[in-house]
Amino acid sequence: MKVVDVSKGKQKEISKLIFNTVVPRPIAWITTVSADGIVNLAPFSFYNAITTKPPLLFVSIGKRKDGTEKDTVRNIKETGEFVINVVTETFLEEMVKTGEDLSPEESEVEKFNIETVPSTKVKPPIVKGVPAAFECTLKEILEIGDTPMNVVIGEVVAIHYIEEIINSSKGIVGRLGGKRYTVISDEVELR
Ligand SMILES: Cc1cc2nc3c(=O)[nH]c(=O)nc-3n(C[C@H](O)[C@H](O)[C@H](O)COP(=O)(O)O)c2cc1C
């Protein structure tokens, strides 16, 4: 096996190694609403659960190349609310399109004709047809790293789900390195 001493390694190589080995990463497809009422939708795969009591999730959101905040973070800071939609294969291509950099005045939901349904406790809507979604309020934002990243911690206030998801995760999408994704098709249950 090769080894990289991080203190001497190139950043590009370090990032590549992390992107390709911390896999598969779950995808938080996040809906937010700007202070002006524009619905934003974008995917984030540096995402996971922290604890279940209270239910806390985190998403790590970087800055744009020009150093400005991404719309998702700006909206969360302004409104304190967001919804995490779970992505299945049906939504894979649409989800990737919403990862494009649009101006704050443009809504991904409108541009890509993505249907939404209202949430129950927060303003950002849910993507219609997803198998699960978490309505969240902002708990805390930690600024970590050299970039720095905004590690957004959300407290889940409502969970939407289809019954089948309790027994099977088939169809849910994970991110791999580069532009590769995986769709859960195999499950091994140990007793
Ligand atoms: C599958 C996927 C996963 C992504 N994960 C992240 C991530 O974890 N953190 C991040 O900052 N950007 C991530 N991005 C890039 C953002 O989605 C992209 O910067 C997007 O334009 C942000 O949109 P916004 O400005 O509307 O918030 C990801 C993109 C894709 C397609």
In this structure, is residue 189 part of a structural domain? no
In this structure, is residue 65 part of a structural domain? yes
Instruction: Identify the H or E element spanning 66.
Output: none
71 lines ligand 1 (CB under 6 A): yes
In this structure, is residue 120 part of a structural domain? yes
- Domain interval for residue 21: 11-183
Nearest alpha-carbon partner for 116 in 131, 106, 108, 126: 126
The chain-wide mean pLDDT, for the chain, equals 97
Contact 14, 57 (CB under 8 A): no
What CATH number corresponds to the domain at position 116?
A: 2.30.110.10
Q: Which class for 185: exposed (0-12), middle (13-18), buried (19 or more C-beta within 10 A)?
A: exposed
- In this prediction, residue 147 has a pLDDT band, given cuts at 50, 70 and 90, of confident
In this structure, is residue 5 part of a structural domain? no
Question: Domains in the chain: how many in total?
Answer: 1
70 lines ligand 1 (CB under 6 A): yes
pLDDT in tens, 91-146: 999 999 999 988 889 999 999 999 999 999 999 999 999 999 999 999 999 999 98
In this structure, is residue 93 part of a structural domain? yes
- In this prediction, residue 86 has a pLDDT band, given cuts at 50, 70 and 90, of very high
pLDDT of residue 96: 98
Distance 75 CA to ligand 1 centre (A): 14
Q: How far is CA 160 from CA 96, 108, 119, 136, in A?
A: 23, 22, 9, 12
